[in-house]
């Protein structure tokens, strides 16, 4: 992997206000990936490919990442980026809305990283649970959403997103087959280990 190119892509994304994984969140994911030694990873929300490229370092021999992005321009940029960094053979980008693409997938994944439309998190979780391997890990980034999720915040504009993030937290903390930690890294990261 060309790390210099990866760093340039990160800086460009930050300059252009493309929302990419934060450093402290990435540190946590790095530790999880070191532990679980993944072969298959699913990401929902590619943006310009930064997190997928970071995760690809931890793939075992023959492993692959599937990542979904609906913004055409970002998909085009992500494809160029993964070529530049030399990891195009490890990352498969699905272009389109994850709500439509996820039901067409029938793979089993070691890790699912949810990082897209907040209002769709409960749907993404159901799809992730359908495809996660036993002992796999499902991560949901931005789960605390500026603190709105754990407070009594109820303003109109973000109401649907906040309600759906709360529903996600309820499901992963109350489901007896899932063990969840909510970490205060980035904008909040839910780490859910699947017990069976």
Residue 137 host element (H or E): strand 132-141
If one asks whether residue 50 binds ligand SAM (CB under 6 A), the answer comes out as yes
CA distance 101 to 86: 26
Q: Which one of 5, 30, 97, 187 is in contact with ligand SAM (CB under 6 A)? A: 97
Interacting span for ligand SAM (CB under 6 A) from 16-24, 82-90, 155-163, 170-178: 16-24
In the complex with ligand SAM, the residue whose CB is nearer, 46 or 192, is 46
CA distance 169 to 25: 18
Listing from the earlier edge strand, what are the strands of the sheet with 189-194?
A: 91-95, 64-69, 40-44, 109-114, 132-141, 189-194, 178-183
Interacting span for ligand SAM (CB under 6 A) from 112-120, 148-156, 157-165, 166-174: 112-120
Contacting positions for ligand SAM (CB under 6 A): 19-21, 45, 47, 50-51, 68-71, 74, 97-99, 115-117, 120
């Amino acid at each position: 992997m060309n790390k210099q190119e990866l760093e340039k892509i990160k800086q460009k994304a930050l300059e252009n206000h493309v929302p990419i994984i934060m450093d402290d969140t990435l540190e946590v994911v790095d530790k999880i990936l070191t532990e679980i030694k993944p072969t298959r990873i699913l990401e929902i929300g590619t943006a310009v490919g930064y997190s997928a490229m970071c995760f690809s370092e931890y793939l075992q021999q023959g492993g692959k990442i599937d990542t979904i992005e609906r913004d055409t321009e970002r998909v085009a940029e992500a494809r160029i980026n993964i070529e530049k960094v030399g990891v195009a053979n490890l990352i498969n980008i699905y272009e389109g809305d994850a709500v439509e693409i996820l039901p067409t997938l029938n793979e089993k994944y070691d890790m699912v990283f949810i990082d897209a439309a907040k209002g769709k998190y409960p749907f993404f979780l159901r799809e992730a649970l359908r495809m996660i391997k036993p002992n796999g890990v499902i991560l949901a980034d931005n789960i605390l959403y500026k603190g709105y999720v754990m407070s009594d915040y109820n303003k109109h504009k973000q109401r649907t997103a906040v309600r759906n993030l709360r529903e996600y937290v309820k499901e992963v903390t109350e489901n007896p087959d899932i063990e969840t930690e909510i970490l205060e890294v980035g904008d909040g990261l839910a780490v859910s280990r699947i017990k069976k």
